[in-house]
Structure 1
Amino acid sequence: MQLLTFVTQETEVSKLRLLVLAAISGIANSLLLVILNEAAAELENGEVEIQLLLQYLLTFILFIFTQRTAQREAVIAVEQAMQKVRIRLADKVRQSELRTIEQLGNISHYTPLTQSANTISQAAMYLLTGFESLLVLLFSSLYLLWLSPSSFAVAMVLITLTILLLVRHYRISFRELSEASRKEGQFFERFSTMLKGFKQIKASRRESDEIFRELTQLANETSELKSRSNARLLEDILLSNMAFYLLLLIVVFLLPNLIPVHEENLFQVIATILFMMEPVYTVSSAIPNISKTNVSISSLYKLEATLDKAHNDPATDTTISPKLENFHTLGLQSASFTYTNTDGQPLFQAGPFQMQCQRGEMLFITGRNGSGKSTFLKLLTGLYHTDNADCVQVDGENLQAADYPAYRELFSIVFSDFHLFDRLYGLVDVSDDEINGWLSKLDLAHKTRFENGTFTQTDLSTGQRKRLAFIAAVVQHRPLLVLDEFAADQDPAFRQRFYEEILPELRAQGQTIIAVSHDDRYFHLADRVLHMETGQLQGYTP
C-alpha cells in the first residue's frame, strides 16, 4: 500500500503503531456486535446482566479512543510527510542544473506539489477506516462461522466474488486516474501558455479558437476518465449492497428450508450480516479514494525520480575562495554544449567556444538571434556544464565540477528573459539608501521606492522592470556583471546614458562587464567586441 509506505517512510510515525491502533479499534467494534447479540438473547429471558452493560461501555470507550488516536496520528503523519516531501523537492529543484529545469519546462510537471498534496492530505481517513473495516469484516465473519457455518460459507462466496471484482475495478481506476492526471497537467500547461501569449491570441481569432479547441478536448478527455472512475465507485457501492441483500435472501428464505436453524440463531445471523454491510460499504468507498491517492503519490515520486536522474550540483559550498575572488582572467577553452531531447538523443551543438576575458574588461558580444549568444553566456557563467571537462578556465587553470557552485557566485546576471522576484533575496550589507540611490540614477525614483526588502511598485513597463532587475544584480557587488540585451527595451535617451555613463562608472569601480548588445553606435566604448555566428565566435573588433 503506497499510502501507508509513504506515511511511514516520510515521517517518524510507526507503521506498526498505526496498524495496532486500527486493529484494536476494529476488534472492539466487532466485540460490540457480540455483546449486543448476547444482551438480546438474555433479554428474551426477561433480564440483562449488568456485566454485559459494563462490557459494552468499556468496549465502546476502547473503540472510540483507539479510533480517534489512530485517525489523529494518521492525519498528522500525512501532513508531516507532505511537508517533508515538498521541502525536499523544492530543495532538489533549486539544486538541479538549469538544463534540467529547462527540459522539465512547463508548470504541468510541478502540479503534483499542489494537486497531489490535496489528495494525499485527505487520504489518511480512508486508509485507516478501510483497514479497520477489513478487520471488522474478518472478526464478524468468524463470529458468523460460530453462529452458522452454512451462512458463513455462503457469505464467504459472495464476499470473495465482490472483493475480487472490487480489486479489478481498483486496477482499472488506477490506470484511468493516472491518465486523467497526465491530461490534467497538459490542460494546465496549455492554459498557462494561453495566458502568456494572450496578446497574440487576442489579435488572432483563428489562433484563439485552435487553442480553445485543444483546451476543450483535454478537459473533455479528463472529465470522461474521471466520470468513468467515479461511476465505477457508485457501481462498487451498489455491488456491495446487492451482495449482502442477496446473502440475507439466501439465509432467511433458502437456508432454513435446507438446513435446520434455531430461531434465536437466525436472528443473530441476520444481525451479524447487517452489521457486516457497513464495513464492506466502507471498503468499497475507500478503494477508489486510495487509488487516487496512489496515483498522486506516484506522481510525486516520479517528479523526484526525474530530478534525481539529472546531474545536480556535486557540491553545495558556495564560498568563493581567494583564488576565484582574485582572478585575473577567465574564459572558455574549446567549450561546447549539445542540446538533447528527452531520450538523450543529440539535437544540435553550440560551440566550440574559445574566449578569454580580462578582469576589469568591458566586453560586448553581438550576433543574430539564434546564433548561440545565450548558450555561450550560460556556459561562461557555469549555468551549463560543458560537454567535456576542463573547458572552463580561471587564470589558466581548469575549473573542476565541484567548483561550479562557487564559480557561479562570481557573476551577477540579467538575462533577456529575466524574472523580477517580489523581493530582493540574499542581499548582505546593502542598505535601502544604496538601492534608492540607484533608483534615482536610473530615473525610477518617481515610480517606485525600496522599502522593507522590496520595491513598492513593480507594475511598470518592460524596460523599467528590467532596470529594477539591473539594480538587483548590481547591488550584489560581484566582480562580473553579465547583461543579455539589457538596453533593447530602453528609450534612446536612457540607452545613451547607460552606455556612456553607467557602464563606464561600473568598470571604473573594478567591475568586469560582459554585455550582449546590438547598439553598434556604442561599440567604441568597449574594450573588445566579439561576434557570434552559428554557434561560433568569429573574432573581435578593437
Structure 2
Amino acid sequence: MKLIFSLLKDSLGLSIVAVGAGIVAGIGNTLLLGFVNNGLAHRSTDLMGQMILSFIIVCLVVAGSRFLSQDLMARFAQRNLRDLRMKLGRRVLSSPLRAQEEIGANRILAVFTEDVPAIASAVNAIPAICTNLVIVIGCLIYLGMISGKLLLGVIGFIIFGIVTCQLPIAKAMRYMNNVRETNDVLLKQLKAMTEGSKELKIHRERREAFLSKLFSSTTRSLQQNNVITSSIFNAVNSWAQTLIFVLMGLIVFVPYAWTRLEPLQLTAYILILLFMIGPLLIVMGSIPAFGRAKVALAKLAELDLSLDKFPAEAEADNSPATPLHDLTLSHVKHSYGDGDNNFVLGPIDLNLRAGELVFLTGGNGSGKTTLAKVLTGLYVPEAGELSFNGQPLTDKNRDSFRQNFSTVFSDGFIFETLLGLDKPELDQEAQDYLAQFQIDHKVQVKDGVLSTIDLSQGQRKRLALLTAYLENRPVYVFDEWAADQDPQFREVFYYQLLPGLIAKGKTVIVISHDDRYYHVADRIISLDYGKIIRDEYAGSPRISSELALAV
C-alpha cells in the first residue's frame, strides 16, 4: 500500500481535511446516538429543548462534514487517477520500444483501464472507512460506559470475528488475482476478435472454435472467479452480522453469563449494537476494494519490473536535432527472442551519407525492419556503436537523434489529429499533399484534424505519408510502403516521390521487395539472416531530380 500512501502524501493538506471531516462525521454520528439514548431515558427532563437544539446542530455538522469528506476525497481520487495515468504514460513512452513490444499492448492497457481505477477506488473509500471506524469506536466507548465487563465480551467477539474471517478473505484474494490474470487474457482475445473479425466471419468453424473454446472459456473463468469472490465476501459479511446477533442474544437471554443490567441499560446496549451493524458492514464491505487495489499494486509492480529489465532511456533534453550528415554502424548487434525464436542482427558495419537513396532488400525475416529500427534509434544495440556526424549515439542524445527521422513502418499507427505539427497554413499544406497523393476526395483536413482514417490499407499508407511529408525531416524511412499500392501509384512512388525527396536534399531509406525498381536507388543493401550480404551502388541512372520536381 506504499503507492496509496504516496498518493495521499502528494496532496497531504487535502487528504488531512478529507479524513478529518470523515472523523468529525463519525464522532457526530456517535453523539447523535447518545442524544437518542438520553432522550429515550429522560423524556420529561427540563433539558429536552436544549437536547433537541443540540441534536439539530449535530445533524447539520454530520451532514456537512460527511459531504465535505466525500466530495474532497472524490476530487482528490480523480486528480490522482489522472496524475497516476500520466505518470504511467510517461513511464511507458520513455521505456525502450523493445520493452513495450515484449510486454504486450494488452498488459499495458489492463494496467491503465483496470489497475489504476482500482487503486483510485480504494483511495476514495478512505474517508468512509474513517467515518465508520470512528462510529464503531465511539459505540464501543459508549458500551464501556454502560458496562465495562460486558465491553470486554463484545471486544472478544469482534476479535473472534476478525480472526475467523482471515482465512476466507485470503482465499478470496487468490480468486481476485485469478480474475486479474484472466482479464489480461480477455483483452488479448478482444484484440484478436476486433482485428481478426474478417478472418472469423469468413470461416465458420474458426469463428465457432474461437467463441466456444477460447472466448467462452475465458468468460466462464471470469464468471466463476468473480462469483466465488463475491460469495466469499458475502459469507464474511453474513458471518460478521450473525456474530453481532448472537452477541445480542447472549446479552438478552443469558444476562447472568455476563453481568446484571437494568432493563433501560439493556435496551441501550441492544440499540447501540444494532447501530454498530451498519458501520461494521460498511468497513467490511470496503475489504474487496482494498483487495482489488492490492492486486492492482502487484500488477503495477510487475509492469515496473518488466520495464526495468531494459535500460531506461534518459530524459529528453529538448535540444534541437543536429542535421544528419553521416550515420555509421560499427560492429552493431541486436537480438531478441529466446531459444528457437532467437534472432540476431549483425554484426553490422555500415555507413550512410546524407542525400542517398538507399534500398534495404532481402527475404522475409532477414532483419530489414529490425535494422531500420536500429538506424532510427528505436532499438538500442546490445553491442557495437552507432554514431552520427562522428559523435557516438548515447542515451542522452538518442531522443534528439530520432528527431532527424520521419518513418512509415508497415505496422505504423495513424493519428486522427496532426499532433506536434503546429505551423501556419497547416490545413492548406496538408490538403495539397492529399491531392498529390490522390486521396483528397476521401480525406479533408480542418483545424489539423483528419476527417477520417477509415480507409483501405493502401490509402492509409498514403495518409501516413502525409504526416511524414508535413514533418519535413532530413531522413525518411519507408517500410514496404509500396506493397499495398496499385501499379499506377507504385510508379508514382518510385519515379516521382522518392526522387523528389532526394532533390530536396533528403536522405531516404526504403525497405522494398520491388526488384523492378531497384535501379531507382543510389545504393542497394541486401540482408540475409541478420547479416549484410550485399552493399553496392546502383549502376543504372535514375530519373533526374529536375524531372521529378517538374512532375
Calculate the TM-score normalised by the size of structure 1. 0.92
Alpha carbons of structure 1 residues 434 and 273: separation in structure 2 relative to 1, 3 Å: closer
Matched, 1:407 2:401: yes
Rounded to whole Å, the distance in 1 between the matches of 2:257 and 2:421 is 87
Question: Which residue matches 1:56?
Answer: 55
Q: Which moved more, 1:504-513 or 1:10-19?
A: 10-19
Aligned counterparts, 1:69-84, within 5 A:
69-84=68-83
The alpha-carbon deviation at position 497 of structure 1 amounts to 2.3
Question: Which residue matches 2:548?
Answer: none
Q: Which moved more, 1:173-182 or 1:3-12?
A: 3-12
Question: Which residue matches 1:149?
Answer: 148
Alpha carbons of structure 1 residues 273 and 459: separation in structure 2 relative to 1, 3 Å: closer
Q: Number of residue pairs matched? A: 535
Query: SS at 1:186's partner residue?
Result: helix
Alpha carbons of structure 1 residues 62 and 36: separation in structure 2 relative to 1, 3 Å: same
Question: Which residue matches 2:95?
Answer: 96
Matched, 1:333 2:327: no
Alpha carbons of structure 1 residues 34 and 532: separation in structure 2 relative to 1, 3 Å: same
1:78-111 superposed Cα distances (whole Å, 9 cap, x missing partner): 1111011011111222222111111122323322
Question: Which residue matches 2:546?
Answer: none
Query: SS at 1:8's partner residue?
Result: helix
The alpha-carbon deviation at position 297 of structure 1 amounts to 4.2
Rounded to whole Å, the distance in 2 between the matches of 1:473 and 1:316 is 22
Q: Contact 2:4/2:119 (CA < 8 Å) preserved in 1?
A: no
Alpha carbons of structure 1 residues 313 and 264: separation in structure 2 relative to 1, 3 Å: same
Rounded to whole Å, the distance in 2 between the matches of 1:335 and 1:432 is 42
Query: SS at 1:494's partner residue?
Result: helix
1:18-68 superposed Cα distances (whole Å, 9 cap, x missing partner): 44332222222212222222222212x566533322332333333223222
Q: Contact 1:75/1:121 (CA < 8 Å) preserved in 2?
A: no
Alpha carbons of structure 1 residues 409 and 73: separation in structure 2 relative to 1, 3 Å: same
Unaligned runs of 5+ in 2: 539-551
Q: Contact 2:416/2:452 (CA < 8 Å) preserved in 1?
A: no
1:399 maps to a residue whose letter is: L
Aligned counterparts, 1:167-206, within 5 A:
167-206=166-205
Rounded to whole Å, the distance in 1 between the matches of 2:429 and 2:5 is 52
Matched, 1:531 2:526: yes
Q: Contact 1:320/1:406 (CA < 8 Å) preserved in 2?
A: yes
Query: SS at 2:184's partner residue?
Result: helix
1:451 maps to a residue whose letter is: K
Q: Contact 1:413/1:483 (CA < 8 Å) preserved in 2?
A: yes
Query: SS at 2:441's partner residue?
Result: coil
Matched, 1:320 2:320: yes
Rounded to whole Å, the distance in 1 between the matches of 2:340 and 2:163 is 44
Choose the corresponding residue for 1:419, options 413, 416, 420. 413
RMSD: 2.5
Rounded to whole Å, the distance in 1 between the matches of 2:350 and 2:471 is 25
Question: Which residue matches 2:164?
Answer: 165
Alpha carbons of structure 1 residues 346 and 9: separation in structure 2 relative to 1, 3 Å: farther
Rounded to whole Å, the distance in 1 between the matches of 2:472 and 2:133 is 64
Question: Which residue matches 1:28?
Answer: 28
Q: Contact 1:338/1:346 (CA < 8 Å) preserved in 2?
A: no
Alpha carbons of structure 1 residues 356 and 23: separation in structure 2 relative to 1, 3 Å: same
- Sequence identity (%): 27
Question: Which residue matches 1:491?
Answer: 486
Aligned counterparts, 1:453-472, within 5 A:
453-472=448-467
Rounded to whole Å, the distance in 1 between the matches of 2:59 and 2:175 is 40
1:441 maps to a residue whose letter is: Q
Q: Contact 1:484/1:515 (CA < 8 Å) preserved in 2?
A: yes
Rounded to whole Å, the distance in 2 between the matches of 1:11 and 1:403 is 35
Question: Which residue matches 1:394?
Answer: 388
Rounded to whole Å, the distance in 1 between the matches of 2:135 and 2:167 is 22
Rounded to whole Å, the distance in 2 between the matches of 1:401 and 1:492 is 42
Unaligned runs of 5+ in 1: none
Question: Which residue matches 2:549?
Answer: none
Alpha carbons of structure 1 residues 419 and 260: separation in structure 2 relative to 1, 3 Å: closer
The alpha-carbon deviation at position 473 of structure 1 amounts to 0.6
Q: Which moved more, 1:308-317 or 1:228-237?
A: 308-317
Rounded to whole Å, the distance in 1 between the matches of 2:475 and 2:31 is 75
Rounded to whole Å, the distance in 1 between the matches of 2:494 and 2:362 is 18
Aligned counterparts, 1:264-275, within 5 A:
264-275=264-275
2:273 maps to a residue whose letter is: I
Alpha carbons of structure 1 residues 442 and 129: separation in structure 2 relative to 1, 3 Å: closer
The alpha-carbon deviation at position 206 of structure 1 amounts to 3.7
Query: SS at 1:495's partner residue?
Result: helix
Question: Which residue matches 1:299?
Answer: 299
Q: Contact 2:96/2:310 (CA < 8 Å) preserved in 1?
A: yes
Question: Which residue matches 1:474?
Answer: 469
Alpha carbons of structure 1 residues 399 and 261: separation in structure 2 relative to 1, 3 Å: closer
Matched, 1:433 2:432: no
The alpha-carbon deviation at position 198 of structure 1 amounts to 2.3
Aligned counterparts, 1:91-130, within 5 A:
91-124=90-123, 126-130=125-129
Rounded to whole Å, the distance in 2 between the matches of 1:203 and 1:300 is 39
Aligned counterparts, 1:198-237, within 5 A:
198-212=197-211, 213-237=213-237
Rounded to whole Å, the distance in 2 between the matches of 1:516 and 1:106 is 26
Q: Contact 1:458/1:465 (CA < 8 Å) preserved in 2?
A: yes
Alpha carbons of structure 1 residues 55 and 214: separation in structure 2 relative to 1, 3 Å: same
